[in-house]
A and B are shown apart, each in its own frame.
Chain A
């Protein structure tokens, strides 16, 4: 089975599950998973394929969440336009932050993005339109295209699923485009990519902006689903959460971020009543994954599958090698 086929089958399986799931599970829980999965997919594009670890993605997620909330509530725009506008704001924010952050790489890049996000956190705390400690509450879900009532959880779920699918396929396309190939080359060996004539800074900046835009799309959608935008969304813990989801699922894999967000969101739901233990257990998971489990769930599955394929192939080769030997034996 080629890689392409494997991905296609996995994608179709995911779509079937995603379409059937809301008839069995609580739609709001599933929408939360979808929002975080899109957030993690956007983050994974930057870390898994660009090799850039951002510790400030909450800035785009929470920023878009605030903008969308304000636009939907105060300006009264319909949800799809509010989400679009919020996402556009995140893209602009990504352009500014990316322009500053890509001047450094590696550990410094992580520290710079963290600091920029903290700056945005203080902005959100002080700016009048964000509502400070209270956040923006009671954001109207409104009517999609002015017709479909988004108060219906089912209708909203399929709207969110459509947004997620669009984002997922867009990011997939970016990864598998010539652009994505150059990106991987930069990740592996930036000086070589530069010597081949690629303007690596441009590639990194564009990737950063795409990543920020889809993180924003996820945050904007989340604001409509939960009808709230708050400081939680722009805090450093949120940036850490998306790193954790991507790591647990498997960074640099197509489906890893989805699996990771399912695991982490589910864990949070079950542990919600245990106070600070959510934080502690997330930290423990973080430590275990980094020490012993760096490929993540999907990464380990792929590695296991590849090993099996190789063994199978090796087994066939052994038979071929053995065949003449037995023939010779027969001769004797």
Chain B
């Protein structure tokens, strides 16, 4: 079959796993966006910058403090999440009573500040991060690098855990209730403002986690955040932010589509997700998993 279309199977499978790896990042990032949007009604433009901060946190922890990758995988999300909590407490909080667009504008301003600071400090060129899992598995039909396998497994676990936390636990039920009627939940004695803060911190920590996960594959650079967040926005528009599971599935699916495009028509690989977004908007404006208004 592969000989017919003139593509070596090795390259085909390699691009497919690469697509799945990219899809893993799309899924984790759009999941974080969806969680934040659900409760705060804010589209967190800073999400990409926080992803970049996660990668840099891993890089700084390693080079300055000698903390290995596995330590950074836990520490970096906590650091980035804590910074996120400060942002929510000091700035975002004051915008909830206004049009949602102000939340978007504020977080966009923060992107400029954060990206600018990192560019000032580290320049625009990328920094390499050593691969903690060198080598790979020979599956017979293809060679699968260990680290790619790890990224896919880790992202699936994190996505599933988040879905379980929100859809199946008591804490998640409070959260879902607060999405519908924050005033009623508050009346039942649950501290909604604290829940909002923690939710933002959690969503941001997810971005930080994705950043550490990305550090060994992609070069750590100040621009990595904005490049990915625009794609993730398109993913979110395609999926609709109605459901957690929808965000996850759309993320992996679009990563795969991107990978396949890189095999068959490389020129379009950077734009294919945007094209799909345009088509989805024309056929089903509310998104694949979105609820019609």
Taking Cβ atoms with an 8 Å cutoff, the residues of A that contact B are 53, 55, 100-101, 103-104, 106-108, 110-112, 114-116, 118-119, 122-123, 126, 236-237, 240, 243, 247, 275-280, 282-287, 289-291, 294
Q: Are B267 and A290 in contact (CB under 8 A)?
A: no
Q: Specify which chain B residues have a CB less than 8 angstroms from the CB of A291 in the assembled complex.
A: 91, 94-95, 106
A290-B43 contact, Cβ under 8 Å, with A112-B237, A284-B113: no
Task: Sample 28 A-B pairs with CB under 8 A, ordered by A number.
Answer: A53-B101, A104-B237, A104-B281, A110-B43, A110-B104, A112-B277, A114-B233, A115-B231, A115-B234, A116-B274, A116-B278, A118-B274, A123-B271, A236-B226, A240-B108, A276-B117, A277-B120, A279-B115, A279-B116, A280-B113, A282-B112, A283-B111, A283-B115, A283-B116, A286-B106, A286-B109, A287-B91, A294-B98
- Judge whether B161 is part of the interface by a CB distance below 8 angstroms: no
Give, as a whole number of angstroms, the nearest-CB distance from B168 to chain A.
28
A286-B230 contact, Cβ under 8 Å, with A104-B237, A107-B101: no
- Judge whether B105 is part of the interface by a CB distance below 8 angstroms: yes
A115-B110 contact, Cβ under 8 Å, with A107-B100, A276-B120, A280-B116: no
Could you tell me the distance between the alpha carbons of A275 and B121 in the complex, rounded to whole angstroms? Answer: 11
- Judge whether B139 is part of the interface by a CB distance below 8 angstroms: no
Could you tell me the distance between the alpha carbons of A281 and B231 in the complex, rounded to whole angstroms? Answer: 26
Q: Which 6 A-B pairs have the closest CB atoms?
A: A286-B109, A283-B112, A283-B113, A279-B116, A280-B116, A119-B274
The prevalent SS among residues of B at the interface is helix
Could you tell me the distance between the alpha carbons of A236 and B114 in the complex, rounded to whole angstroms? Answer: 16
Q: Are A280 and B120 in contact (CB under 8 A)?
A: yes
Could you tell me the distance between the alpha carbons of A285 and B116 in the complex, rounded to whole angstroms? Answer: 13
- Judge whether B147 is part of the interface by a CB distance below 8 angstroms: no
Q: Specify which chain A residues have a CB less than 8 angstroms from the CB of B146 in the assembled complex.
A: none
The A/B interface has a contact count, at CB < 8 Å, of 115
Could you tell me the distance between the alpha carbons of A110 and B237 in the complex, rounded to whole angstroms? Answer: 10
Q: Specify which chain A residues have a CB less than 8 angstroms from the CB of B102 in the assembled complex.
A: 290, 294
Could you tell me the distance between the alpha carbons of A284 and B120 in the complex, rounded to whole angstroms? Answer: 15
**Given A100-B278, A104-B285, A107-B43; 9 other pairs, CB 8 A cutoff:** A111-B233, A114-B230, A115-B233, A115-B237, A118-B231, A236-B230, A240-B108, A280-B120, A286-B109
Q: Are A243 and B281 in contact (CB under 8 A)?
A: no
> Which residues of B259-281 are within 8 A (CB) of A?
267, 270-271, 274-275, 277-278, 281
Could you tell me the distance between the alpha carbons of A247 and B112 in the complex, rounded to whole angstroms? Answer: 15
Could you tell me the distance between the alpha carbons of A123 and B109 in the complex, rounded to whole angstroms? Answer: 26
Could you tell me the distance between the alpha carbons of A277 and B111 in the complex, rounded to whole angstroms? Answer: 13
Q: Are A277 and B116 in contact (CB under 8 A)?
A: yes
Give, as a whole number of angstroms, the nearest-CB distance from B1 to chain A.
30
Give, as a whole number of angstroms, the nearest-CB distance from B228 to chain A.
11
Could you tell me the distance between the alpha carbons of A240 and B281 in the complex, rounded to whole angstroms? Answer: 24
Could you tell me the distance between the alpha carbons of A186 and B38 in the complex, rounded to whole angstroms? Answer: 26
Could you tell me the distance between the alpha carbons of A275 and B116 in the complex, rounded to whole angstroms? Answer: 9
Q: Are A108 and B237 in contact (CB under 8 A)?
A: yes
Q: Specify which chain B residues have a CB less than 8 angstroms from the CB of A112 in the assembled complex.
A: 237, 277, 281
Q: Are A287 and B277 in contact (CB under 8 A)?
A: no
- Judge whether B291 is part of the interface by a CB distance below 8 angstroms: no
Other-chain contact of A276, B116, B267, B278, B282 (Cβ < 8 Å): B116
- Judge whether B244 is part of the interface by a CB distance below 8 angstroms: no
A110-B281 contact, Cβ under 8 Å, with A275-B120, A277-B120, A280-B116: no
Please name the residue on chain A nearest to B236 by beta carbon. Answer: A111
Q: Specify which chain A residues have a CB less than 8 angstroms from the CB of B277 in the assembled complex.
A: 112, 115
Q: Specify which chain B residues have a CB less than 8 angstroms from the CB of A285 in the assembled complex.
A: 109
Most interface-central of B91, B111, B112, B234 (chain A CB within 10 A): B112
Please name the residue on chain B nearest to A106 by beta carbon. Answer: B100
Please name the residue on chain A nearest to B279 by beta carbon. Answer: A100
Q: Specify which chain B residues have a CB less than 8 angstroms from the CB of A108 in the assembled complex.
A: 237
Q: Specify which chain B residues have a CB less than 8 angstroms from the CB of A283 in the assembled complex.
A: 109-116
Please name the residue on chain B nearest to A47 by beta carbon. Answer: B101
Could you tell me the distance between the alpha carbons of A123 and B91 in the complex, rounded to whole angstroms? Answer: 37
Q: Specify which chain A residues have a CB less than 8 angstroms from the CB of B91 in the assembled complex.
A: 287, 291
A247-B105 contact, Cβ under 8 Å, with A111-B234, A280-B120, A291-B94: yes
Q: Specify which chain A residues have a CB less than 8 angstroms from the CB of B281 in the assembled complex.
A: 100-101, 103-104, 112
Please name the residue on chain A nearest to B226 by beta carbon. Answer: A236
Q: Specify which chain A residues have a CB less than 8 angstroms from the CB of B111 in the assembled complex.
A: 283
Give, as a whole number of angstroms, the nearest-CB distance from A229 to chain B.
20
Could you tell me the distance between the alpha carbons of A283 and B91 in the complex, rounded to whole angstroms? Answer: 14
Other-chain contact of A119, B108, B120, B275 (Cβ < 8 Å): B275
